[in-house]
Chains A and B, each alone.
Chain A
Amino acid sequence: MSALGKVVRSGVGRRRVQSVVMALTTFAAVTSAVLSLGLLAVVQAPFEHAFRARDGAHLAVQFDGAKVTAAQATATVHAAGVTEASGPYPVAAALDTTVGTDCPDEALAGHDNGPLTVTTRPDLGSTSGMDQLALTRGRWPTNPGEIALPWQHYAADCFGASVVFSSLPGSPSFKVVGFANSVTNSATAFATADGFARLTAAGAKSDVQMLYRFATAGTAADIATDKQAVAAAAPAGAVEGGQSYLTAEQQATGNAKAYVPFLTAFGILGLFMSVLIISIVVSGAVASGIRRIGILKSLGFTPAQVARAYTAQAMIPATLGVVLGTVSGNLLAVPILGEATKQLGAASAAGATIPWWVSAVVSLGTLLIVGVTAVIPALRAGRMPTVRALVVGRAPKAGGGRAAQRLASRLPLPRAVSMGLAQSFARPARAVTVGAAVLFGVVSVTFAVGLESGFTKYLDTSTSGFNVASEIVIPTADVGVPWGLHGPNDPRTPHLDATEVAAALAGIPGTKTAFGWGDSGATMVGAPPGGEAPRVFTVTGDFSWTHMELLSGRWYSAPGEAVVGDKLASAVGIHVGDDVTVVQQNKHLSLKVAGINFDTNQGDYTVMTDAATFTAAGLTPHIDQFNVQLASNVSGSDWSTSAAAALTPLNASVESNSGWGKNIVMITMGALVATLTLMMIAVAALGVLSMVVQDTRERVHDLGILKALGMTPKQTVAMVLTSVTLTGLIAGLIGVPLGVAVEKATLSPMGDAIGRHLPPSVSHVYTPGLLIPLLAGGIVIALLGALLPAGWAARSRTATALRTE
């Protein structure tokens, strides 16, 4: 090994704690950065690439075919802001379908297949113009009996079998010859013109679709403005719905994109922390090793060699952290990307990995940043005059702090405490550095606690509403059957007789209240064709006791009113007072939107209305479940026994409400946040430890004097701990508001990523009860970091310390 190598190795060996700190910090920073950048690359980039390559439409507008002619629709290309347009194309929206009975998989044959929005184009396989369709399997339909669908809208095992438009008279059937999609989900089924004509001939309502690109379309607000401009250029009331590319993007990137904001925040915090810690350690090594530098130079080391030696002492552990962080980031990405890839439409999630260039960019970028950080103090070491280094021998003694000592001695505090308090001011630069390490720790903790509280509150919302019940009553035929097996429109799906079950429940002793609800199988005109199918729930009875959250407006109270879920409202641009049209078995019903609710339980796009509204309009409400609240002191098993007698004749059975499955995304996010936070706290505390160790080493002689004068080990510990307490307190006071700001800047984009505007009940997490302990977090981190060196100081041998000069 070369002389330089030996110097570097001994330097790393002598600073084991500092080396571990540097490795840990870069590890945390690189893990977060690889994950966040990797997710962005994997999740976001393919959509953006496809959107550009296929000339995706910013907005696909569906006009009511009864209110607009093709010419009038075409005229909207002159609306304000439109830069490019395509259409008109015929479209038939939200048609109920089932899997054909010719599907070789018997379990799927005849199964409810959800609603489809069918369109036709002059050339389905065109590779020019706007919204070019992509074929991923099979071929394009060439005759009236064939159709192509996105793979998400038809069972792969049934490919080649038929799809049946079950709610149209005559139930026209089409053979699925291809899997194909529009990048913005402008439609979810593609037929020939003759094939489309078969649907309209069978009674499907034919509407008109126009596709647009706009000059300004970066945000949902831009798209809303653009949509208004198009609506203004068309006959009044002609616009039935509009599908924004932002909704399609959200559907494509799914939950994975929600990870990006907080991972980015942790990545940035981690990188700042790395820079801070490395500058602490290398500056400390230079400051405490001046004599050593002098000896090295007197032995013939050149200034460049000295600088390299000190840079390498930081780069070795940092490189280790970078390598481990890159591996960890890639490994952690596997489960997250698995889900994301499915959202993107890949056939298999097995190949979901972060692109190699992400690891390369993050690794090299981090090494460059930490390298520059280390080089600055290392160059100072290289330039230090040899004679001065040998004469000075160690870092100059702090000259400051006398005024602080004088002031502190006047405080009515034990002397050990007041001496420790004054030490914060003896080396202001060092105190600021300790404060910065604690600050990053406090920001991370505050941010993480806020996020976790937000996650918890979000999860709490999934145990409210339709999930709240002491006991539930379901059709006997559904007992032991997976929920929603056949789909709401499948004739095999059993329903409850709402009137009789409600009457029976009211007569069972111990029943406090109950309400019934079910998926009506209806869909909503204008709902996003991609992603999850919209659900229209019909409800009977009082459900106010479930504390379902209402974001705006009020609950429906009159016939013809409905409440729309926030995600559907955001995606389509529905507001309180608007009218929406729901369709069940090709029967249309207009509903007035009375309120927007926040519901994370029952799917992405939901509408709720009273069952009586459906009945009055000639539609069929479905009641699939009653949620029962028992009176206090009523035993569930006793009630179930007596309820069974009343319910069995009605083909209804009692089940205990065993709760619902955990939201795995939120659990994964929570675990990631907790891991990264613990890592950041550990790094912050280790940063403090590193500084206090350095300080204690430099003050070992003074400590010896004090111990010789009778300072006990406890007093020594108290003095060292107090030396960081004030700094920790100040860092806490600054760090908490910063952490709150980071959380506010992160949680909303996370909500946006999953297409939800988080309500105050979820986003307002910082209560006084939470903030006050957080304010003390700075002191806790500082004390955690100072505890070990305080113990070392207390145990140091007085006689040895006294000999140290």
Chain B
Amino acid sequence: MTNAPMIELRDTTKKYDDGPPALAGVTLSVAAGECVAILGHSGSGKSTLLNLIAGLDKPSSGTVTVDGTRVDQLGEADSARYRRASIGMVFQFFNLLDDLTVLDNVMVPAQLAGMGKREAQRRAVDLLGSLDIDRHAKTYPQRLSGGQRQRVAVARALMNDPALLLADEPTGALDSSSAEDVRELLLELNSDGQTILLVTHDVQLAASTAGRTIELVDGSVARDVVNPAGGATVNSSAGAVR
């Protein structure tokens, strides 16, 4: 585990049209190996923050650096390559491709990155096995439960061995049992050293999963606290809060 910042935002602002900024001068950093929860109500700016870190959107000002890459300076193609190489994403509604089998869904990121089919298949099968859903490899996502689908999504997110796992409300569409299942999965991944940024409005989930919680209110960091009961806490002081 290293103390080098995995995510670093400096005075980052994102404005849409003439309205108030979705993010207003946010400065924060997340160290490698941390599991950090971004907490906030609807419209607080947490999805915008996630999009900026994932390279899906560009800041209006300020910088976004992930794993040494200035994400805010990347073009479209380089953003895509950056996501392939460094980012794994887990969504609230899973975002699996319905016309692909579970195995094919998991293989897609590796295949887009140019990995050979045989190697991609081997790695996907390993991942599905480690997440205990390998028996569903030939199944189509619509036949799986919510929890199972989210496990498939996690497997897909880990396919390219990303430095950072972004989880956007990963339990938001799940029943309590499945939600707990996913929470434990995230904890397990973090304990294995996976850096995780968890975006949620669920205080309980943030507190029980993440080692640190950053609360956003109206696009600004309102609170940055360490969760004693949460996941790995590398260095809470690394989160320079403005």
Contacts and interface: CB of A to CB of B under 8 A. Distances in A.
Interface in B177-230: none
Contacts of B89: 708-709
Interface stretch (B4-12, B25-33, B34-42, B78-86): B78-86
14 contacts: A405-B99, A409-B104, A414-B114, A415-B108, A415-B111, A701-B95, A705-B95, A705-B97, A707-B80, A710-B109, A710-B113, A710-B160, A713-B76, A798-B56
Contacts of A397: 98
Sort chain B's interface into a size bin.
20 to 34
B112 interface: yes
Given A401-B99, A714-B77, A709 B108 contact: yes
Contact of A710 (B80, B97, B104, B117): B80
B100 interface: yes
Contact of B112 (A398, A412, A710): A710
B54 interface: yes
Nearest to A794: B76
B61 interface: no
A702 B111 contact: no
Given A402-B100, A415-B107, A709-B83, 12 more contacts: A415-B112, A416-B112, A704-B95, A708-B83, A708-B95, A709-B84, A710-B112, A711-B80, A713-B76, A713-B77, A794-B76, A802-B91
Contacts of B81: 710, 712
B22 to A, nearest CB: 11
A137 interface: no
Nearest to B52: A799
B67 interface: no
Contacts of A710: 80-81, 83-85, 109, 112-113, 160
B125 to A, nearest CB: 14
Interface in A679-722: 701-702, 704-715
Interface of B: 47, 51, 54, 56-57, 76-77, 80-81, 83-85, 89, 91, 93, 95-101, 104, 107-109, 111-114, 117, 140, 156, 160
B104 A713 contact: no
A271 interface: no
Contacts of A798: 56
Contacts of B140: 402
A426 interface: yes
Interface string A398-418: 100110011001001011100
Contacts of B109: 709-710
A405 B112 contact: no
A702 B97 contact: yes
Contacts of A401: 99
A730 B111 CA distance: 28
Contacts of A712: 76-77, 80-81, 112
A705 B113 CA distance: 15
Interface residues of A, number: 34
Contact of A799 (B57, B97, B112): B57
A711 B107 CA distance: 13
A805 B111 CA distance: 26
Interface in A413-444: 414-416, 422, 426
Given A709-B83, A710-B109, A711-B112, A799 B99 contact: no
Contacts of A715: 80, 112
Contacts of A708: 54, 56, 83, 89, 95
A696 to B, nearest CB: 15
List of 7 A-B pairs having minimum Cβ-Cβ separation, nearest first: A710-B84, A415-B111, A712-B80, A799-B56, A710-B83, A705-B95, A712-B77
Interface string A763-805: 0000000000000000000000000000000110111001001
User: In the complex, which of the residues B85, B96, B100, B107 has the most CB atoms of chain A within 10 Å of its own CB atom?
Assistant: B100
Contact of A406 (B83, B101, B112): B101
A105 B174 CA distance: 103
Nearest to B95: A705
A163 B140 CA distance: 95
Contacts of A711: 80, 112
B27 to A, nearest CB: 22
Nearest to B113: A710
Contacts of B93: 805
A798 B108 CA distance: 17
Contact of B80 (A398, A415, A713): A713
Q: Which of B89, B99, B101 has the most CB of A within 10 A?
A: B99
Which residue of B85, B107, B108, B114 has the most chain A CB atoms within 10 A of its CB atom? B108
B159 to A, nearest CB: 9
Interface centre among A398, A701, A802, A805 (most CB of B within 10 A): A802
Contacts of B56: 708, 797-799, 802
A749 B209 CA distance: 82
Contacts of A416: 112
B76 A709 contact: no
A715 B112 CA distance: 8
Nearest to B103: A409
Contacts of B99: 398, 401-402, 405, 422, 426
Interface in A478-524: none
Contacts of B85: 710
Nearest to B76: A713
Interface centre among A401, A402, A702, A798, by most chain B C-beta atoms within 10 angstroms, is A798
A417 to B, nearest CB: 11
Nearest to A415: B111
A426 B95 CA distance: 18
Contacts of A402: 99-100, 140
Contacts of B108: 415, 706, 709
B4 to A, nearest CB: 24
Interface string A350-361: 000000000000
Nearest to A701: B95
A798 B97 CA distance: 15
A270 B140 CA distance: 43
Among B47, B76, B98, B112, chain A packs the most CB atoms within 10 A around the CB of: B112
Q: Which of A416, A708, A710 has the most CB of B within 10 A?
A: A710
A397 B141 CA distance: 14
Contacts of B97: 702, 705-706
Contacts of B113: 710
Name the residue among B84, B85, B95, B160 with the largest chain A CB count within 10 angstroms: B95
A637 to B, nearest CB: 62
Nearest to A423: B99
Nearest to A798: B56
Contacts of A705: 95-97
Contacts of A414: 111, 114
Contacts of A714: 77
B26 to A, nearest CB: 17
A406 B83 CA distance: 25
Contacts of A797: 56-57
A797 B107 CA distance: 23
A792 to B, nearest CB: 13
A702 to B, nearest CB: 6
A709 B51 contact: no
A415 B100 CA distance: 12
